[in-house]
Chain A
Amino acid sequence: MQNTENILFTLAMIGYFAAMACSFLFVSVKKDGFAKAGEALQIVSLALHTGALVLRGLAAGRLPMTNQYEFATCFAWALCFVSLVFIRKYRFPVLSVFAMPIIFLIMGYAAMQSRDIKPLMPALQSGWLAFHVSTAIISYGAFGVSAALGAIFLLRGRIRENSFLDQHIPGEAKLDLIAYRSVCLGLLFLTLTILTGAIWAERAWGSYWSWDPKETWSLVTWIVYAVYLHLRLRRGWKGRAAAIFAVAGFVCVIFTYIGVNTLLPGIHSYA
């Protein structure tokens, strides 16, 4: 089973790479066909990726979301899923130019992690864990999409002359609004993540909040996006400033996800 999983994972990774290439061709050669091909490749790769995750879940007898490898591949999965939703909902293929490289990088990070299926230590055997981690994944995926949208917003000024892109990138107001929508999705799920994490920590360690670095950084991330929401309500802070915030917020997300584990000690060091 692990062999099939590995094959599916590799195929998905190749698919993501091809989708990324298509999206780059789409903006450089300016043929709509590449956008369509890229989207189709993205869907196929997502399906393969889903297959790999399902197989792993079956082999382990639990949700495959408990170590660095599993979390990274789920993160890439969520980013792909959320970006597909936004691409289709807002008819916005250029988003994949920014989303695909991030997805590909995270898959690369996942590929470097150990894929052994290890049994869980007692603290991790909890129904809340599955809930906690799956909400985290959706939230990270949504924040990733908002960061990609923020980046598009910031680069858009430079490429305004390009009529092809003008046609395919929504106006500033709409871009800002879509980024806001994905931050909303992310923040709602981050709140759920923190809540379910607190409930689980209470059951496992006896204390629902102990200022462990990962907890602290998820709070920092939460506050950064709360600030983003408030600033957007003020005149003059929509658009550019909000886009910068969306990108900066995602830096916090990545730090919470990877930096804390590698740089700071704490009870979350296993995940």
Chain B
Amino acid sequence: MKKIGKFLSSMGFAVALLVILAAACALSSLVEQGLTQETYAARYGEGIASVIMALQVNDAYHSVWFIVLSGFLCLNLILCNLIRFPAFVKRWRKEKDPEAVNTAGDLGDTETGSPEQVLSAMRMPDVKRCRTAEGREALFSNRNAIGQWGAWICHLGVLLLIAGFALGQMTLQETVIWGVPGDTRIMQETGLAITIDDFRTETREDASVAQYVTEITVTDPATGKSEQASVSVNHPAVAGGFHLYQNNTGPAASASVVRDGKEIQRKTLLPQQTMAESVLGLEDQPEYAFYFAGVRTMREEGQEERTLYLYDLYRSGVLQQGYYFLGEGSVTVGEDQITFTPRTFTLLVARKDRFAWLALLGGLITLAGLALAFYLQPKALWAVRQEDGKWILRGRCRKGKTLMKEQLEEAVRAAEKEEKQVAEH
């Protein structure tokens, strides 16, 4: 049991998991995600396609094995941080403990006549005077003890990040709202009514697109209150706890069915979408249906480019006739007159991720942990007075002793030089 715990919390296991995860991500990125087995078979052959499906590489980042691996990584991090917590506290105390003057340190011994000068040249703060166990005079100073928490904090951050991401994915609510100005949609998740008041594409002088803007009115049927909002790329709006993002646009058509001079039916059609969104079924003549087949552009000699709108009329599921219009156009079916008007649709994505804040917090903590671990490396430096009056400098810096030793030697030389100059005077 103890052995298993030790293994699960070990750094070796962590490294193995990280390597496997990285390799899995790298390989999966080479395979386009979310395609069907047939598409993979056409691309890579039957054999590889069945391997892809069997190993769930078609949806690798949501596959069982990926989640299990991530789960182990979290377990690993939790155990590692829990088990090592006492050791971190102990090491933190030890970093600041002047008892160090009785130890050899890891920089070797360096002799000097002016320890205070060297300590201050090394930017060591709050030098404490103390005595060694043998009663020798000693100086001790340390800095950046806090930095040793970096790894612990970083691990905590990674854990929160993964937790925030996973919880967010599990509880994510997402829906789309699309239409043309004038349309109102009910958001099932919140009961709010979203009316699209206006949609515009803002362009620059060179005709490139500067921004897509949808103006909406959000009405709460329960209270009758309504609020206006504007949604554009990079500027989402908030409604009922959901964020609304400007996601897509394109050609659409409004269909209006008129009988005896009265409009009896109206619908916005998207081109070549799923049936419900691109088909107009005539309510009073259910055997008939129009399908919005999309748009084509054409250009004749010496003329500007023009856009054709294509509609197919079906009767009992059988194609009767195709129509195309350059702009608005009408078709008569029995007593109904159907008028199609070209429009531009806007599509908003509404999302509610309750745990995005946790992922962000995790990310910031990870960042803070890394900054601590890398840029506040704990250092200690002490000097012990010898019988001949000279001092022996010793120190400790777990992660940068080569550089610290170099700096120390330089500081000692500089102090000696200064001493000499003072003596010559």
Contacts and interface: CB of A to CB of B under 8 A. Distances in A.
Interface of A: 118-119, 121-123, 125-126, 171, 173-174, 177, 180-181, 184-185, 187-188, 191-192, 194-195, 198-200, 202-209, 211, 213, 216-217, 219-220, 223-224, 226-227, 230-231, 233-234, 260, 264-265
Nearest to A215: B29
Nearest to B371: A188
Interface stretch (B18-26, B125-133, B279-287): B18-26
A194 B362 CA distance: 13
Contact of B33 (A185, A205, A211, A223): A211
A119 B202 CA distance: 13
A174 B245 contact: no
A174 B349 contact: no
Given A203-B236, A226-B18, A122 B359 contact: no
Contacts of A121: 208-209
B233 A188 contact: no
A123 B212 CA distance: 10
Main secondary structure of the interface of B (DSSP, over half): helix
B309 to A, nearest CB: 26
Nearest to A128: B234
Q: Which of A195, A206, A226 has the most CB of B within 10 A?
A: A206
Interface residues of B, number: 51
B26 A217 contact: yes
Nearest to B369: A191
A172 to B, nearest CB: 9
22 contacts: A118-B208, A122-B211, A125-B233, A125-B234, A174-B403, A174-B406, A188-B370, A188-B374, A191-B366, A195-B367, A198-B360, A203-B235, A203-B236, A205-B245, A206-B243, A206-B247, A206-B351, A207-B351, A211-B29, A220-B22, A227-B18, A230-B15
Nearest to A122: B233
Contacts of B400: 177
B10 to A, nearest CB: 11
A119 B206 contact: yes
A122 B232 contact: yes
Contacts of B247: 205-206
Contacts of A194: 363
Q: Which of A126, A207, A260 has the most CB of B within 10 A?
A: A207
Nearest to A226: B18
B388 interface: no
Interface of B: 11, 14-15, 18-19, 21-22, 25-26, 28-30, 32-33, 61, 165, 204, 206, 208-212, 232-236, 243, 245, 247, 349, 351, 353, 356, 359-360, 363-364, 366-367, 370-371, 373-375, 399-400, 402-403, 406
Contacts of B353: 208
A192 B21 contact: no
B127 to A, nearest CB: 26
A206 B22 CA distance: 25
Contact of A199 (B25, B26, B208, B360): B360
Contacts of A230: 11, 14-15, 18
Nearest to B20: A223
A24 to B, nearest CB: 28
Contacts of A226: 18
Given A177-B400, A227-B18, A265-B32, A122 B234 contact: yes
Contacts of A223: 18-19, 21-22, 25
Nearest to A177: B402
A123 B234 contact: yes
B18 A211 contact: no
Given A181-B374, A188-B374, 8 more contacts: A119-B204, A119-B206, A119-B208, A125-B234, A126-B234, A180-B399, A188-B367, A223-B25
